[in-house]
A = this chain, B = another copy of it.
Amino acid sequence: MLPKSRLKQIAQLSQKKFRDQTGCFVVEGHKSVHDFFEQGWEWTELLSTEPQDSLPTTVVSTAEMIRMTQFKTASPMLGVFKKRKPIALPTNESVLVLDQISDPGNLGTILRQASWFGIQHVLCSEQSVDCYNSKVVQASMGGMARVYCHYGNLVAFLSGTQLPVFGAGLSGKSIYEAEVKGPAVYAFGSESHGFRKEVASTIQQWITIPAKETDSVESLNIASASAIVLSHCYAGN
């Protein structure tokens, strides 16, 4: 059993300001909690409704889980983990850059892709959705536990990097013709507004995923586009 005050504090971690104040965030679900634990993330609470062999959890009631959960349905396992201290971005490894991404499901999906394709670093602009948001953590399916999600000034990074900078847009060189060798930076604009002007001006080469027909939908979802670009330009070569 947890003190009521602690239950309330954990529930409040659904809000970014409390995550920022405490430096902690919540992970829900058996698989995700194991992922963060096994990847060596520091934790303050590991809680479950049944005793566990695989994790040193404290047993709490389902009613307590319901008080803490950030989802419609409480999971039988919940962990409170500490946010990681920021580290420097690498200079010679591929980086995925996201300008003002706002949808937590999209960011989580992209972190999952980054992990799948072995990209260790994702850089989001400062106004992007918080990667410690529980919907990001959930959608990443362990990706958030494995990939460094940085926040920072995109223009400073993109104009300073020694790596080639590819930007995904509605026009540019077809990805089926683009040649990418070695580490590179892959940049994507926001779901609704694309790139901000100052960020767009740092793109060295525009790449695009050509539509097959003229009367198609106007664009692909950002996470569909990133999947295709990473697969074609990064994994496929």
**Is the CB of A23 closer than 8 A to any CB of chain B?**
no
Q: Determine the distance from Cα of A74 to Cα of B228 in the docked complex, in whole angstroms.
A: 33
- The residue of chain B having its C-beta at the shortest distance from the C-beta of A175 within the complex is B231
State the Cβ distance, A230 to closest chain B Cβ, in Å.
8
**Is the CB of A216 closer than 8 A to any CB of chain B?**
yes
B146 touches A215 (CB 8 A): yes
**Is the CB of A112 closer than 8 A to any CB of chain B?**
yes
How many copies of this chain does one complex carry?
A: 2
State the Cβ distance, A126 to closest chain B Cβ, in Å.
25
Q: Determine the distance from Cα of A141 to Cα of B143 in the docked complex, in whole angstroms.
A: 27
A232 touches B235 (CB 8 A): no
Known interface pairs A209-B231, A227-B227, A231-B228; A217-B116 also in contact (CB < 8 Å): yes
The size class of the interface chain A forms with chain B is 35 or more
B223 touches A223 (CB 8 A): yes
B212 touches A117 (CB 8 A): yes
A146 touches B223 (CB 8 A): no
State the Cβ distance, A144 to closest chain B Cβ, in Å.
9
Residues of B within 8 Å of A139, CB to CB, are 221
Q: Determine the distance from Cα of A124 to Cα of B85 in the docked complex, in whole angstroms.
A: 45
Known interface pairs A105-B105, A227-B227; A115-B146 also in contact (CB < 8 Å): no
Residues of B within 8 Å of A113, CB to CB, are 220-221, 224
B216 touches A141 (CB 8 A): no
**Is the CB of A204 closer than 8 A to any CB of chain B?**
no
Please list the 7 inter-chain residue pairs (A to B) with the smallest Cβ-Cβ separation, ordered nearest first.
A118-B212, A224-B227, A227-B227, A228-B231, A118-B213, A115-B217, A142-B217
